[in-house]
Amino acid sequence: MISKPISDPPACTADLLALQDSLEIIGGKWTLLIIHYLATREHEVNTFKKIEHDIPGLSAKVLSKELKTLETNRLIFREPPHTKPVSVKYEITPYGKSLQTIITQLVNWGTNHRKTLFDKK
């Protein structure tokens, strides 16, 4: 006789809550792109204008909002300007770097997904 799997609603609820929290922070269209951008350029000077220029389609308004959210959640560090003209620099934090494994997995999945969709059969 096949038995039903034992369900654990409290654990499921905790998993869903954790997933919901994660997606609330990193689920935006631009969030992971900005984090990945900063993580792969951590030895460069990353100003607002440079980020805006280097990520195609990202508007200044959206970038500003995303950077504030990422800073609030301690994923990036905003270095106040010490120069004239004012030029704010952004860096990935160690906590932000913890997302790099997830991003790498998403890149791999996305690459395979594109192959699945576009490879000729």
Domains, the chain:
26-118 (1.10.10.10)
Could you read off the pLDDT of 96-105 as tens digits, one per residue? 999 999 999 9
Q: What pLDDT is attached to residue 39?
A: 97
**Would you say the pTM of this structure is higher than 0.85?**
no
For the chain, list the strands marked E by DSSP: 76-79, 89-92
More confident residue, 3 or 62: 62
pLDDT band for position 61 (50/70/90)? very high
Residues 9-28: b if buried by 16+ CB within 10 A, e if exposed: eeeeeeeeeeeeeeeeebeb
